[in-house]
Structure 1
Amino acid sequence: MISPVSAAASPAAAPALIALAGATGDLGHRIALALLDRGAQVRALVRPGSAAKPAAGTLRERGVPIIEVDFNDAAALARACAGAACVVSALSGLREVIVDSQTQLLDAAVAAGVPRFIPSDFAIDFTKLPEGSNRNLDLRREFGRRLDQAPIRATSILNGMFMDLLTGQAPVILFKIRRVLYWGSADQPLDFTTIADTAAFTAAAALDPTTPRYLRVAGEVATVRDLQAAATAATGRRFGRLRAGGLWLLKLMIKITRRLVPAPNEVFPPWQGMQYLHNMFTGLPKLTPLDNDRYPDMRWTKVRELLAKK
């Protein structure tokens, strides 16, 4: 029996071609580099004007063709997907991107006869969340329903929260006052994975023809107490905990913040990040079972390692 790894990376097989949308973004760029490191061919699909971005230049230096394509041009988009073993989406945005553009990309992949599709789902397990609890994840769920109806094999990769956010963008580890901020229980397990590890796993999955509908990974599963210990060990300075209140209070804060600062056209307004934290602290979207061992060459970064580099 051939394992997923050997099937994906057999030296006798011709290098697989992966069509990657969103290759000039942080995650997409890392996925492209990880695919190249695994010996794959990569075709980067970018919108008109994006070929001039620095990330595109870096990929071009590695021999990656940068294909500028108008997603509204179905025939051109299908040609850009033609011959690929898998189409990977690392697109980021709101409805016009996550639902509309990804649907155009999906239709093009189907029209081109591409056998597999990996959507831009990279998140906590939103399939377990109630509708309306997170705007951005509701969009992914909506696209997922379309994807499940399409004649193509799909694999969503769920990775929890990007661990990198703990070093500043996510208001959880407060370095200035040496506290770990939380709501609800300090013992709720939370899933974290670095952007780099998510990209590496996605590259392996894109080259693996045996992937199931969902793959769930977490570089580290940590409670608030674990984050407190990791921050203390990484910095050599003792961190404490700061409980802001129950989950009901966070939910109220989200409602007030969304009313005062709606920012409907921003992908990540303040209230969106608060929604994500609320989801995580409820425990509902906890990733299980984990597929961390699916590709034995993967090495997962731990919170302490990440914080030590800050």
Structure 2
Amino acid sequence: MTEPNASAAHSETSTIVLAGATGDLGVRIARHLAQRGATVRALVRLGKTGPAMADLREAGATVVEVDFNSVTALTRACVGADCVVSALSGLRDVIVDTQKRLLDAAVAAEVPRFIPSDYCIDYTKLPVGSNRNLDLRREFNQRLDQAPIQATSILNGMFTDLLTGQAPVILFGPKRVVYWGSADQPLDFTTTENTAEFAAAAALDPSTPRYLRVAGEVASIRDLQRAASAATGQPFKLLWAGSVGVLGALSKLTKALMPASDDVFPPWQGMQYLHNMFTGLPKLAPLDNARYPEIRWTSVREVLATRPPAEK
């Protein structure tokens, strides 16, 4: 454990290079880094446009257009940085190939620390082949472990925000909470905002270990049922959809029946993620929530309460 304000002493003099800065998580990380006094160098692809660019500049970041296919160009962008933070999102060409070039650039520029784009459940405890997207992160991190740089992966479970619709667990129409296996299995949830805030603190903390594990709330399916009922003022019931094995088989069948695509999050990928969580294998422990005590963790109930009244 570090001192309560371990990152604060370095914030005013730290330069952080942020890749994947135009994504939802990336913009939030940039904002929290700037709020902590860091100099933020946001790397974006050549010719990148969109509202995120304005958001980055408004947050105080310096936007740097760079060719992500060029280690030389990335190296120039990394010179003088104290940490490279990746919030890149994609498949093999991004998570393995682009991040490898970014890593090579960080090493060449003599950046002391690197935070990869993990932000997920604990894939180190899962068997290879159980989750495509997490296998890619595992593969990149094996390369990262061999590089002469201090690395820290941030593991945060599932983004709590997904429970408001994208994750097929809390069904607001029929007022049901769907689950597989045990309704008492502890599950890890952290909001995107809390994850970004923690990542910013970790980026400014030179003493971080190889892995940091956080959960805004550890909740079972029964806890989600209570949270949904409290947030909406309407009673939710549990709906058991079968064993964990059934969910695993269903994800494999769905993958086999769907045409191949470059979609990062097809339906079967979400099913793989839920299957992983319901097995209990990737449960985060021990938790590092107290490492930066200034962070206030947002509960599942608070997130569910943010849904528009018409959707509750």
Same-fold call, TM cutoff 0.5: yes
Moved more, 111-120 or 256-265: 256-265
Kindly indicate whether residue 158 of structure 2 is the aligned counterpart of residue 161 of structure 1: yes
Does the 8 A contact of 1:45 with 1:68 survive in 2?
A: yes
Q: Which runs of 4+ in 1 moved over 6 A?
A: none
For residues 32-60 of structure 1, give each alpha carbon's deviation from its aligned partner in whole angstroms, at most 9, with x where no partner exists.
Answer: 0010111111000011122x221111222
Kindly indicate whether residue 45 of structure 2 is the aligned counterpart of residue 47 of structure 1: yes
Moved more, 214-223 or 245-254: 245-254
Alpha-carbon shift at residue 181 of structure 1 (Å) = 0.4
Percent pairwise identity? 70
Alpha-carbon shift at residue 177 of structure 1 (Å) = 0.5
Which residue does 1:255 correspond to in 2? 252
Which residue does 2:170 correspond to in 1? 173
Alpha-carbon shift at residue 71 of structure 1 (Å) = 1.6
Alpha-carbon shift at residue 136 of structure 1 (Å) = 0.2
What one-letter code is carried by the residue in structure 1 that aligns with 2:140?
F
Alpha-carbon shift at residue 9 of structure 1 (Å) = 1.3
Does the 8 A contact of 1:160 with 1:193 survive in 2?
A: yes
What one-letter code is carried by the residue in structure 2 that aligns with 1:303?
V
Does the 8 A contact of 1:19 with 1:81 survive in 2?
A: yes
Which residue does 1:282 correspond to in 2? 279
Q: Within 2, Cα distance between the matches of 1:61 and 1:298?
A: 22
Q: Within 2, Cα distance between the matches of 1:230 and 1:62?
A: 33
Kindly indicate whether residue 238 of structure 2 is the aligned counterpart of residue 241 of structure 1: yes
Which residue does 1:102 correspond to in 2? 99
Kindly indicate whether residue 263 of structure 2 is the aligned counterpart of residue 266 of structure 1: yes
Question: Number of paired residues?
Answer: 307
Matches within 5 A, 1:33-72: 33-50=31-48, 52-72=49-69
Alpha-carbon shift at residue 4 of structure 1 (Å) = 4.2
Which residue does 2:310 correspond to in 1? none
Q: Within 2, Cα distance between the matches of 1:170 and 1:96?
A: 26
SS of the residue corresponding to residue 241 of structure 2 reads strand
Which residue does 2:9 correspond to in 1? 10
What one-letter code is carried by the residue in structure 2 that aligns with 1:31?
I
What one-letter code is carried by the residue in structure 1 that aligns with 2:37?
G
Cα distance 1:256–1:212, how it changes in 2: closer, same or farther (>3 A)? same
SS of the residue corresponding to residue 266 of structure 1 reads coil
What one-letter code is carried by the residue in structure 2 that aligns with 1:64?
A
Q: Within 2, Cα distance between the matches of 1:309 and 1:8?
A: 31
Does the 8 A contact of 1:34 with 1:200 survive in 2?
A: yes
Does the 8 A contact of 2:128 with 2:135 survive in 1?
A: yes
Which residue does 1:132 correspond to in 2? 129
TM norm structure 1: 0.97
Does the 8 A contact of 1:4 with 1:210 survive in 2?
A: no
Q: Within 1, Cα distance between the matches of 2:115 and 2:47?
A: 24
Match of 2:141 among 140, 144, 166: 144
For residues 93-117 of structure 1, give each alpha carbon's deviation from its aligned partner in whole angstroms, at most 9, with x where no partner exists.
Answer: 0000000000000000000000000
Does the 8 A contact of 1:28 with 1:90 survive in 2?
A: yes
Which residue does 2:75 correspond to in 1? 78
Q: Within 2, Cα distance between the matches of 1:272 and 1:62?
A: 33
Q: Within 1, Cα distance between the matches of 2:259 and 2:122?
A: 25
SS of the residue corresponding to residue 198 of structure 1 reads helix
Q: Within 2, Cα distance between the matches of 1:21 and 1:289?
A: 28
For residues 106-149 of structure 1, give each alpha carbon's deviation from its aligned partner in whole angstroms, at most 9, with x where no partner exists.
Answer: 00000000000000000000000000000000000000000000
TM norm structure 2: 0.96
Stretches of structure 1 that go unaligned for 5 or more consecutive residues are none
SS of the residue corresponding to residue 178 of structure 2 reads strand
Alpha-carbon shift at residue 262 of structure 1 (Å) = 3.8
Does the 8 A contact of 2:228 with 2:236 survive in 1?
A: yes
SS of the residue corresponding to residue 203 of structure 1 reads helix
Match of 1:30 among 7, 28, 31: 28
Does the 8 A contact of 1:92 with 1:98 survive in 2?
A: yes
SS of the residue corresponding to residue 237 of structure 1 reads coil
Alpha-carbon shift at residue 62 of structure 1 (Å) = 3.8
Q: Within 2, Cα distance between the matches of 1:165 and 1:62?
A: 25
Alpha-carbon shift at residue 14 of structure 1 (Å) = 4.2
Does the 8 A contact of 1:183 with 1:245 survive in 2?
A: yes
Q: Within 2, Cα distance between the matches of 1:176 and 1:191?
A: 24
Stretches of structure 2 that go unaligned for 5 or more consecutive residues are 308-312
